[in-house]
Amino acid sequence: MITKRKTNWFRMLFEWKGSVLPQLLPRLSLLFLFSLLIVYFREFLLHHHIHLNPAIFTLFGIALAIFLGFRNSVSYDRFWEGRKLWGALLNDTRSLARQALTLLESTNYKQQQSEFIRMLMAFVYALKHQLRHTDATTDLERLLPPALCKEIATADFKPILIMKALGVWVQQAKRDGKIDSITQVAFDDNLNKLSDSVGGCERIASTPIPYTYSVLLHRTVYLYCFMLPFGFVESLGWITPFIIVFVAYTFTALEAIADELEDPFGTQPNDLALDTMSTMIESTLAELDGYRIERNVQPQSYYST
């Protein structure tokens, strides 16, 4: 995700990184060449009345802009809901770590408390990898005990199994007399909140905007853009290609942005910065446990021999 601050207005006109222009450039170039061709055969097209009334595009363009605005609003709602879920994930993991460190009779239980916190870290990374369909092995081997890591290695829903292990840890602490029933309920409430966050993320990731809706919008945008030269070639002449490309950039860019935001957990420039958020959650939990993770240093395994 692009997180840098806005530059001044002039430099932003030439901003490249984080813009959808690179992926649109081939399409806009094709439209520019098509518009040049229309202008070149302008006299032939006008003689045979192969042109359109510009008023049609004005009316249709307003409707298309409203349609695109609604599409972007739906996509941004998904993006913002994903961000809120990961914000809740940060809060809930902090709460669980604090509970594990302060609500237990912690004499001779420091190792188990640190193991609980590392399972919380592993839970966050496992969720990130599940949403992105990437391999979680490296992070899990670094954060989990070898036996637990081996147990969940082939699981499809690794965050859920780690959450089960967190629940088993709470149950064991109760058996060991480190927590009472009321404290166990408090732990369980926060574990349920973790489950809600996972379910919310899975709902967004597994329920895309209906495909037929996207196809309809895509076809409409490009048919509109490629018909534009026929409406303005008579009045604009050789400046037509430049005006058409500018108008097309607006519409196609809105469609491209909506496509990026539809899946906020991906790896495109404007998706959520899950790598950064996962690292930040690990760092804050590590500080709660009494140590600091150095920035720009590759984290080491907690179970290295």
Tens of pLDDT, residues 45-97: 887 788 788 888 888 888 888 888 888 999 999 999 999 999 999 999 999 99
Return the structure tokens found at 164.
């089960």
pTM: 0.87
Q: How far from each other are the two terminal CA atoms of the chain, in whole angstroms?
A: 36
Query: Are residues 150 and 195 both part of a single domain?
Result: yes
Return the structure tokens found at 231.
């409406």
Query: Are residues 45 and 191 both part of a single domain?
Result: no
Query: Are residues 48 and 139 both part of a single domain?
Result: no
Contact yes or no for 278/128 (Cβ under 8 A): yes
Looking at residue 113, its pLDDT comes to 92
Does residue 293 lie within any of the structural domains?
Answer: no
Query: Are residues 225 and 181 both part of a single domain?
Result: no
Does residue 8 lie within any of the structural domains?
Answer: no
Query: Are residues 105 and 189 both part of a single domain?
Result: yes
Looking at residue 58, its pLDDT comes to 83
pLDDT at 25 over 70: yes
Domain that holds residue 223: 21-77+208-262
Query: Are residues 92 and 230 both part of a single domain?
Result: no
Query: Are residues 50 and 198 both part of a single domain?
Result: no
Confidence grade of residue 305 (pLDDT, cut at 50, 70, 90): very low
Query: Are residues 178 and 32 both part of a single domain?
Result: no
Query: Are residues 158 and 284 both part of a single domain?
Result: yes
pLDDT digits (tens, 9 = 90+) for 193-222: 999 999 999 999 999 888 888 888 899 999
Domains: count for the chain: 2
Does residue 12 lie within any of the structural domains?
Answer: no
Query: Are residues 104 and 69 both part of a single domain?
Result: no
Q: What is the largest CA-CA distance in the chain?
A: 94
Query: Are residues 60 and 164 both part of a single domain?
Result: no
Contact yes or no for 282/65 (Cβ under 8 A): no
Query: Are residues 284 and 151 both part of a single domain?
Result: yes
pLDDT digits (tens, 9 = 90+) for 122-176: 999 999 999 999 999 999 999 999 999 999 999 999 999 999 999 999 999 999 9
153: domain CATH number is: 1.20.1440
Looking at residue 5, its pLDDT comes to 64
Contact yes or no for 138/153 (Cβ under 8 A): no
Q: Would you give the distance in Å from CA 220 to the centre of its chain?
A: 26
Query: For the residues 270-294, what does the mean pLDDT come to?
Result: 89
